[in-house]
Amino acid sequence: MQPSRSRKGSRGRVCEVEGSRGSVVGGKRKDAEKSARRAVIETALAMSRSGLSPCRSGNVSCRWKEGMLITPSGMAYEETDLRDIVFVDGEGQVPAKRPRKPSSEWRFHLAAYRARPDIGAVVHTHSLHATVLACAHRPIPAFHYMVAVAGGKDIPLVPYDTFGTEELAQHVAGGLADRNACLMANHGQIAVGADLASALELAHEIEILSEQYAKTLALGEPHLLSDDEMARVLERFKSYGQRAQKA
């Protein structure tokens, strides 16, 4: 599988169907926002129903205009309506008319968008095996070539800080500077992508790799691939898949 490569300098997709400037107005703009809100809810439901993040844990957002649309704080995804998805602007402000509070983790979502203008979506989960490794303070090294799916030779672990804090947000932004996923110490995992589908798919990949690595550790220390081999894998990923063939 080809990793979601970092493309600095290009802007990640917003969850908006954009035409020529000024052409999406009135009802069309409202329809685009409804579609974006629906996509956030559907992604959160898929995350939860797959077991990737149990109950009300985890959160989902997509880039929207100069800010983001994010799941609300403490609400069951099955009970979440389009109106419950919260818009947070680029300065971290929520319009007073919105009835819901954003996820308590909105700060690290916003920090990720600021650090990575090429991404359009963030998925944060408490998936079982990724959380086990995070609690053991175990980043994922190059035990398998598919570790490159996150865009580098390993999947890093960022330091712990209290949930919802600016300090944690800065740790996450640093971890995602040159990776599309990382583990969060004593917390869980976070994955980003050009859109919601790719971010969710990567979160699933990170959980699979976490399970494989945790089970390998039960047998002893794994044999790791060299930096040179991981560099070759990353290069080969560039020409892997249907999109690359058409490029």
Which residues does the annotation mark as catalytic? 105
Distance between CA atoms of 197 and 59, rounded to whole angstroms? 14
3-state secondary structure of 86: strand
Number of other residues whose CB lies within 10 A of the CB of residue 83: 12
The candidate with the shortest Cα–Cα distance to 80, out of 53, 48, 116, 123, is 48
Locate 89 and state its tokens: 């602007």
Query: CA dist 165 to 22, 175, 181, 207, Å?
Result: 37, 16, 19, 25
Q: Which amino acid is at 211?
A: E
Distance between CA atoms of 125 and 85, rounded to whole angstroms? 18
Distance between CA atoms of 64 and 14, rounded to whole angstroms? 5
